[in-house]
Structure 1
């Protein structure tokens, strides 16, 4: 019984989010939703695009650029993309919070997003701290695993995000 009560409370909160002035504006404005969705896509293009380039560098058999140099170039792009995508995503969420909460692709996207973010933190606080010492510019196996996991997670985020509209 407690589970039903807490689920009802969560659903009430989601309904309140939808009925908020922001949720109403997102649904009623002809241009607001598409503009915010475009920002969300641009943010994700910057975020995931820069991550994919870096991950491919980690997986490269014949690296041309040191990973630490490439990381310094791409990190500001990733951060900018994140700072655009997340607020835009939250705004999109307000438009149909209850529908998103019931959509399995939304939850798959959030799960893969969490995997991607945790992978970033673990990499940069672990094997990524020693990039300058990687022999012959080649990342060690742990860095390659992190790159492969990252590619899977972030491409999965994109796929699930696109499938939200169809389920």
Structure 2
């Protein structure tokens, strides 16, 4: 793993990110702003689950999801831009590694929540489980943001 991270850091893109006066700061700002927008969209979807029926929540989620996916893509691209210039250091950072696990957990929760919402339209007792998954989503995505900030301190 360390060899791959060192190669990524030594790449032409890594060197460009380190040398550029504006590229790294621009990626950093976009990553922070993107995190705020992405979390707002996720929160809107999760609050819809907490407040509405499964059918009503699915309608809200369907209208917001394309924007949330775009926001997640911005996070991935800018996150990679921030990783590459210091990949060997950041890649071994415990906060970064836990952040990646939390992102995986959050994305798995999205899939589980989707399945529950589809089933909850036919079985109202599952709506409680959907609401638990929505609350967990809020908590895990907040943890992802906090872990991103903690990377600077490890």
Tell whether the structures are fold-level matches, with TM greater than 0.5.
Answer: yes
Q: 2:38 aligns with which of 47, 57, 62?
A: 47
CA distance in 1, matches of 2:134, 2:23: 36
Which has the higher Rg, Structure 1 or Structure 2? Answer: 1
**Match status 1:163 vs 2:150:** yes
**Match status 1:79 vs 2:103:** no
CA distance in 2, matches of 1:134, 1:87: 39
CA distance in 2, matches of 1:140, 1:115: 20
CA distance in 1, matches of 2:38, 2:126: 22
**Match status 1:108 vs 2:98:** yes
Unaligned runs of 5+ in 2: none
Write the deviation string for residues 51-99 of structure 1: whole angstroms up to 9, x where unpaired. 1122122223xx4992122112210110110111111111211011111
RMSD of aligned C-alpha atoms?
2.1
**Match status 1:88 vs 2:75:** no
2:21 is paired with a residue of what secondary structure?
Answer: coil
CA distance in 1, matches of 2:22, 2:126: 46
Unaligned runs of 5+ in 1: 1-9
CA distance in 2, matches of 1:131, 1:67: 11
**Match status 1:22 vs 2:9:** no
1:66 is paired with a residue of what secondary structure?
Answer: helix
> 1:49 deviation in Å?
1.4
Q: Is the 8 A contact 2:120 2:127 kept in 1?
A: no
Give the paired residue count: 153
Q: 2:88 maps to what in 1?
A: 98
Q: 1:118 maps to what in 2?
A: 108
Q: 1:4 maps to what in 2?
A: none
> 1:130 deviation in Å?
4.1
TM-score (norm 1): 0.82
